[in-house]
Amino acid sequence: MQQTSFEIEILIHDDASTDRTADIIRTYEKKDKRIKTIYQSENQYSKGIRPISLFNFNRAKGKYITICEGDDYWTDPKKLQKQVDVFNQDQSVACVVTDFTKKNQEKNTFQNAFISNQFKNIKEGYIDTNKIFSTSLKKTRTTTSMIEKTWIDKIVNGQYMKNMPGDTQIFGHLFLHAKIYFLKSDTGVYRVLPESASHTKSFIKKQLYLKSYIDYMGYLLSNYKLSYRDHRYFEKTKLLYIIRQKAHEKNRFKVILLSTKLILLGHISRLIIPQIKLAFKKNEG
């Protein structure tokens, strides 16, 4: 559906789909020569491989890279054109992100212009970097981003770390070394599934995901001069991680003690109450 004044290529990596995805891709591939697909016979993600960075980034020939993951979809036919227009007008920009609609797949609910509603005072322009962890990163979303390929190459071929969130690494690096531009246009849908890499009902997976984020924050704080607010957010997140663990173990004393410590340190979080409830919840059966 994209309407552009420039050529594009569509790089698809099918990670050994077990449904009819591969057949559907082949149908489109026959109709559109811009589509270039890699079909896997064995799932690569389950091996700890990041398919996008390993299989798609390196073969991209364009000046810019934009990602539309399997869970998400674009809704604005001018999305790509609007983003390239920003690059053409401002050579200092390394990445352009837009607003988006958040869809809860399970409840079938939609939150339009999610970023604009979450950050009421946000305007079009450069995203501030005084609070990278708590604010700046939350204003970005992979499915709406367009990134200059030279920056992708620097990140993937440089300090791209295993077992840490990939998209967060990309945006974190860009915030530290370049400029990210925000467009208020709502151009796509970010779909929250009941079970995915970043959203899961599994406690173990949740903790592993949070731990990877904590490790990445620790890496940045050790290697870059970040704000006092970023240091405080890091300490708060580490405490919340431990509180979640103790709540899961039904260690009520530790949950109350650590929650009190969190509050006394000035870290107010709505996540504390659910953990206290979990710690004191009676085991069923």
Give the chain's domains with CATH numbers: 1-62 (no CATH), 66-200 (3.90.550.10), 203-280 (no CATH)
Q: What is the pLDDT of residue 81?
A: 98
Helix (H) and strand (E) counts for the chain? Answer: 10, 9
d(CA 83, CA 85): 5
In this prediction, the residues of the chain whose per-residue pLDDT falls under 50 are 285
Give residue 145's region: left, alpha or beta (phi > 0; psi -120 to 50).
Answer: beta
pLDDT tens digit string along 102-121?
999 999 999 999 999 999 99
DSSP class of residue 142? G
Q: What is the pLDDT of residue 74?
A: 97
What backbone torsions phi and psi does residue 223 show, to the nearest 5 degrees? Answer: -115, -10
Pairing of strands 179-192, 93-104: parallel
d(CA 27, CA 103): 28
The closest of 173, 198, 92, 185 to 144, measured between CA atoms, is 185
Q: What is the pLDDT of residue 197?
A: 65
Instruction: Please write down the HEC assignment for all residues of 24-92.
Output: HHHHHHHHCCCEEEEECCCCCHHHCCCHHHHHHHCCCCCCEEECCCCCCEECCCCHHHHHHHHHHHCCC
DSSP class of residue 186? E
Q: What is the pLDDT of residue 120?
A: 93
d(CA 258, CA 25): 51
The closest of 109, 113, 80, 117 to 6, measured between CA atoms, is 80
d(CA 115, CA 172): 18
Residues in the chain: 285
Please give the structure tokens belonging to residue 127. Answer: 């995203």
Q: What is the pLDDT of residue 155?
A: 83
d(CA 139, CA 171): 10
**Cα-to-chain-centroid distance, residue 148:** 17
Q: What is the pLDDT of residue 159?
A: 67
pTM (predicted TM-score): 0.89
